[in-house]
Amino acid sequence: LSGMKKNALWTFQLRTFASTGSNIPTTKNFIDGRMVESKTNDWIELKDPATNEVITLVPKSTRQEMEDAVASAKRAFKDWSRTSVLTRQQVMFRYQHLIRQNMKELAQLVTKEQGKTLVDAEGDVLRGLQVVDHCCSITSLQLGETLPSVSKDMDTLTFRVPLGVCAGITPFNFPAMIPLWMFPLALVCGNTYVIKPSEKDPGACMRLVELGKEAGIPDGCVNVIHGAHDAVNFICDHPDIQAISFVGSDKVGRYIYERGSKNGKRVQANLGAKNHGVIMPDANKENTLTQLVGAAFGAAGQRCMALTTAVFVGEAKKWIPELAERAKKLKVNAGHVPDADLGPVISPEAKDRILQLIQSGVKEGATLVLDGRDVKVKGYEKGNFIGPTILSDVRPDMECYKEEIFGPVLCVLTAETLDEAIDLINKNPYGNGTAIFTTNGATARKFTHEIDVGQIGVNVPIPVPLPMFSFTGSRASFAGDSNFYGKSGLSFYTQTKTITQLWRESDTTDTRSATAMPI
Ligand code: NAD
């Protein structure tokens, strides 16, 4: 914790040594505006991925604690949904400022629990902050529509009104950004919230809700509960929860989508990915290889928009050895070490799974152009490190191609033509992101029009839209009909109320009641 600011230490002191039978600090629930020690007997050990030392115990919140969180959000909704939009906007302005002020400390929390490098962790916070920036425009975003004189003396207008209590379930890979995709937008629309962060790294989310309180978010408007299956089932089934935002893996997301929908809730679920980069022979070679290496191995490949699959078209395949040379130069180290390019993966289990997928590729005939399996990191021998790894001659029927590896492994395929590359990508079930590298506008245009993927980069390896747009992963990478943030996000967290009103100065002289539809 050295180097952290005073208020960060306060957070940690709040995680006092609980009745866990150990002296390891605990992560609290956040209920009704207070950090609350869980009464559970069931704790999850959270280990620093660089050392595998236990740094906090995360509770599986009890049923009563989860009920308390929803009840608190339900109570708070009454007043919060009636506050003026300017009040909610002012809270967002203060929140925006506080997140920016505490960016370094938030990044340190991310690195400590998640493992990514500090600069990358700052990016994690920044991309979340940009959603808060966008929320500050709520006075324009939440405008309804009006049409005067739809009939004689009759006007129609619409309001975008909040839903009630909403809930979020987040993955481990962006512990700051993804909570910030969810509760700020829900809140600024007038909803209240219960969030269940990943049990693997809830620290940044805890600090973010503390900062929210400091910014003036009233008690009860945002609550945090912890756990995995039981907490998720609780959210899917609770009658007072109106909508669920989920980001995470396919299996869990589909389950939540089905269970939540069956219970009448709105659900938006961002799921897994397999993002392909197409490298045309006319591409700018330097730029393309630099971008590819960063996008494949940044965050140790644990990004849903990581460029994990490269398709070299025609003569471009001659660049593969150079790609490997560049990837080899990346420095693998603990995330807080200043010159680290990539940190560890989240857990020993994740590491084993990634190693197995590399091995399966080799067994099925892929060529290991760069092997990062035996990387040793001095001083962090127990960490979950894997160095950049490149498998070439990969075929679509191989396990390493079919599975989302979620580690620092780039699968390389080749195609003779652009059509062949497009066909390959469109046959893949996922539709999260893709990119083409070319200097030819017509090639880029053909690609953007014919590819069936929700987010496309042209000479941009990770085309994540800024929050004035929406995150539009498609096909197997998304379930629901309103995407995260942007206009879609606003639509997800509001419902439309349409008012048709008739104001007539003089009373009617017609005494016959109309029983037929007006024509
Ligand atoms: P995960 O699905 O394992 O976990 C996500 C959440 O679900 C966590 O809060 C976890 O506690 C909960 N959960 C896990 N297993 C559960 C179960 N069996 N029953 C009920 N709840 C369960 O995902 P992860 O490993 O934390 O994150 C990585 C995945 O998330 C990758 O597949 C990645 O592509 C995806 N992801 C997608 C996006 C996107 O925008 N498309 C963004 C980030 C991550």
Q: What is the whole-number distance in angstroms between the Cα of residue 125 and the centre of ligand 1?
A: 19
Which ligand 1 atom is nearest residue 174's CA? Answer: 43
Catalytic residue among 221, 304, 400, 411: 304
Sign for the CA dihedral angle at 418, 420, 421, 423 comes to: positive
Nearest ligand 1 atom to alpha carbon 251: 2
| 463 pLDDT above the threshold of 60 | yes
414-438: per-residue pLDDT in tens? 999 999 999 999 999 999 999 999 9
Instruction: Identify whether the C-beta of residue 471 lies closer than 8 Å to the C-beta of residue 455.
Output: yes
User: Distance of CA 57 to CAs 33, 36, 201, 349, Å?
Assistant: 21, 14, 11, 18
pLDDT of residue 6: 42
Whether pLDDT at 311 is above 50: yes
What's the pTM value of the predicted model, to 2 decimals?
0.95
**Which residue puts its alpha carbon closest to atom 43 of ligand 1?**
304
Secondary structure of residue 458 in the 3-state scheme: strand
On the question of pLDDT at 21 being above 90, the answer is: no
**pLDDT exceeds cutoff 90 at 79:** yes
Give the mean pLDDT of 173-183: 98
CA distances in angstroms from 187 to 391, 440, 470, listed in the order given: 45, 44, 18
Residue from 110, 116, 178, 198 whose mutation best tests the ligand 1 pocket (most atoms within 8 A of CB): 198
Q: Are 384 and 351 in contact (CB under 8 A)?
A: yes
Assigned token pair, 514: 């109309």
- Residues β-bridged to residue 58: 44
Identity at 379, one-letter amino acid code: G
How far apart are the C-alpha atoms of 112 and 221, rounded to whole Å?
28
Distance 190 CA to ligand 1 centre (A): 27
**pLDDT > 90 fraction of the chain, expressed in percent and rounded:** 92
Question: What is the distance between the alpha carbons of residues 275 and 429, in angstroms, rounded to a whole number?
Answer: 11
Who's near 82: CB < 8 A, 6+ residues apart? none
Q: What is the mean pLDDT of residues 193-211?
A: 98
Q: Is the pLDDT of residue 356 over 90?
A: yes
The C-alpha atoms of residue 118 and residue 104 are separated, in whole angstroms, by 8
pLDDT at 25 over 90: yes
DSSP characters over 355-392: HHHHHHHHHTT-EEEE--TT---TT-TTS-----EEEE
3-state secondary structure 83-149: CCHHHHHHHHHHHHHHHHHCHHHHHHHHHHHHCCCHHHHHHHHHHHHHHHHHHCCHHHHCCCCEEEE
- Residue 497 tokens read as 């109320």
pLDDT at 200 over 90: yes
For ligand 1, mutation pick of 173, 226, 349, 485 (most atoms within 8 Å of CB): 173
- Contact call for residues 178 and 56 (beta carbons, < 8 A): no
- Give, for 254, the enclosing helix (H) or strand (E): helix 250-262
Going by the DSSP 8-state scheme, the letter that residue 26 receives in this structure is B
* Closest by Cα among 488, 475, 484 to 247: 484
Q: How far, in Å, CA of 77 to CA of 66, rounded?
A: 17
User: Do residues 168 and 196 touch, judged by C-beta distance below 8 A?
Assistant: yes
Q: Which atom of ligand 1 is nearest to the CA of 478?
A: 41
CA distances from 280 to 276, 421, 422, 434 (A): 13, 10, 12, 14
Nearest-atom number in ligand 1 for the CA of 196 is 9
What is the DSSP code (8-state) at residue 471?
B
CA dist., res. 397 & res. 407, Å (int): 20
Q: What is the DSSP letter of 429?
A: S
**Residue whose CA is closest, atom 24 of ligand 1?**
171
Structure tokens given for 509: 């002289």
Q: Cα–Cα distance between 186 and 76 in angstroms, integer?
A: 13
What mean pLDDT comes out for the span 163-179?
A: 98
- From ligand 1's centre to the CA of 249, what distance in Å? 4
Rounded Cα gap, residues 225 and 94, in angstroms: 24
Pairing, β 34-36 against β 29-31: antiparallel
Q: Is 179 exposed, middle or buried (0-12, 13-18, 19+ CB in 10 A)?
A: buried
Q: Would the pLDDT of 12 be above 90?
A: no
Position 122 scores a pLDDT of 98
pLDDT of residue 18: 53
Pocket test for ligand 1, best of 267, 302, 304, 307 (most atoms within 8 A of CB): 304
Cα–Cα dist 508/347, whole Å: 75
Q: Which atom of ligand 1 is nearest to the CA of 473?
A: 41
- Residues having CB closer than 6 A to ligand 1 are 169-174, 196, 198-199, 228-229, 232, 247-249, 252, 270-273, 304, 404, 406, 432, 471, 473, 477
For residues 257 and 10, what is the distance between their CA atoms, to the nearest angstrom? Answer: 37
DSSP state of 338: T
Please tell me the total number of residues recorded for the chain in this structure.
519
Q: For all residues of the chain together, what is the average pLDDT?
A: 95
pLDDT computed for residue 267 by the predictor = 98
Tell me how far apart the alpha carbons of residues 44 and 56 are, in angstroms, rounded to a whole number: 8
Atom 35 in ligand 1: which residue has the minimum CA distance? 248
**What are the phi and psi torsion angles at 203 (to 5°)?**
-60, -45
CA 198 / ligand 1 centre spacing (Å): 8
Catalytic, 304? Answer yes
Of the ranges 386-390, 481-485, 515-519, which one carries the lowest mean pLDDT score? 515-519
Residue 329: strand, helix, or coil: coil
Q: What is the pLDDT of residue 508?
A: 67
In this predicted structure, the answer to whether residue 8 has a pLDDT above a threshold of 50 is: no
CA-nearest residue for atom 12, ligand 1, is: 228
Ligand 1: residue of 113, 232, 453, 483 to mutate (most ligand atoms within 8 A of CB) is 232
CA of 36 to the centre of ligand 1 (A): 25
Q: Which atom of ligand 1 has the smallest separation from the CA of 404?
A: 32
196 Cα–ligand 1 center, Å: 11
Confidence of residue 5 (pLDDT cuts 50, 70, 90): very low
3-state secondary structure labels for all residues of 223-249: EECCCCHHHHHHHHHCCCEEEEEEECC
How close is the Cα of 7 to the center of ligand 1, in Å? 30
> What's the CA-to-centroid distance between 401 and ligand 1, angstroms?
20
CA nearest 160: which of 135, 140, 143?
A: 143
